Amino acid sequence: MRPPWALRMTSGASLTLATMLDGHAWIVPEGHDPVRIGPGDIAVVPGDAPYTVADAPTTKPTQQITTADYCPGPGHTPRTCGDPADEAPVLLSGAFERRGELSERLLRALPPVLVVPAEDGAYPSPELIAAEIAKDRPGQQLVLDRLLDLMLVSALRTWFDTPNSTAPAWCRALDDPIVGTALRLLHESPAHPWTVADLAAKTGVSRAALARRFTTQVGEPPMSYLTSWRIALAADLLKETDETVSAIARKVGYANAFALSVAFKRLKGTRPTTHRTTTTHPWPPA
């Protein structure tokens, strides 16, 4: 980039990561204060609303970045633009194409722009990702996808550990030896006919102790959390697969399509078949 520069990001991606390899930038989300990022800082931008990345908060955008400007796979090279120059700012950005009900739980909790400072040691380093982008080797896109995943998880873990962050309670509770074990059991086997007594036996505490500790740390009782998790999982399966509603119902712990439909309507205000036919994001299928 050569100042003055400003990019209007309108890809509609559910989540974007950005970092500066050299120089600094300002991220300007609509309706929120600008946020500055420097070399090595990781910015996480949730939601599909447009925003601007610029050399200064007041610089007017001269280029618009849409879905066509991201590189989703083979045949979309090069992955870089602009001519490298000494001391010129270099922006590295990656977008997550897909979204789902499970990811929405986290997206809703993120601030408009989450910045993880370089000194907090987010991994992998931007330099490592930049070096991979510059190559043209078999499996490159797979490597880049996993590096982007790793950068996101690293940034979120740092956020979780930050005092007074707005990280969801269930994310923090995963570190608890008792509640974390119960959450992993629910996540890994949502179709199992769980009861509080079952979870208590698996975690080695009394039923009352588990219910109290779970509710305190997660913000809702175990069975209530399980219901919302099952419905979120079912919502994703309805969008991402061609499985019947009955098959999805059994996969997430309901006896039949009617039982799933009742619970789905109660939590989401619509029926599973209606949810399946409603488009929720502008990205093309992955």
Domains of the chain, earliest start first? 6-160 (2.60.120), 170-276 (1.10.10.60)
Q: Between 208 and 79, name the one with better pLDDT.
A: 208
> Looking at residue 78, what is its pLDDT?
55
Average pLDDT over residues 55-74: 77
**Does residue 200 have a pLDDT over 60?**
yes
> Looking at residue 286, what is its pLDDT?
35
Average pLDDT over residues 86-98: 81
Helices (H), the chain: 101-107, 126-133, 140-160, 169-173, 179-188, 196-203, 207-218, 222-240, 245-251, 257-268, 272-276
Burial pattern 71-84, b for ≥16 Cβ within 10 A else e, equals beeeeeeebeeeee
> Looking at residue 102, what is its pLDDT?
58
Nearest to 266 by CA among 224, 238, 237, 236: 224
Q: Which residue has the tokens 């930038």?
A: 25
Least confident of 9-23, 93-107, 184-198: 93-107
Nearest to 69 by CA among 55, 81, 84, 52: 81
| pLDDT band, very low/low/confident/very high, at 283 (cuts 50, 70, 90) | very low
Helix (H, G, I), strand (E, B) or coil at 85: coil
**Does residue 276 have a pLDDT over 60?**
yes
> Looking at residue 71, what is its pLDDT?
54
Average pLDDT over residues 117-129: 82
Q: What percent of the chain has pLDDT over 90?
A: 42
**Does residue 73 have a pLDDT over 50?**
no
Average pLDDT over residues 126-132: 85
Nearest to 227 by CA among 268, 180, 177: 268
| pLDDT band, very low/low/confident/very high, at 281 (cuts 50, 70, 90) | very low
**Does residue 217 have a pLDDT over 50?**
yes
> Looking at residue 284, what is its pLDDT?
40
Contact call for residues 99 and 236 (beta carbons, < 8 A): no
**CB atoms near residue 9 (< 10 Å):** 24
pTM for the model? 0.69
> Looking at residue 199, what is its pLDDT?
95
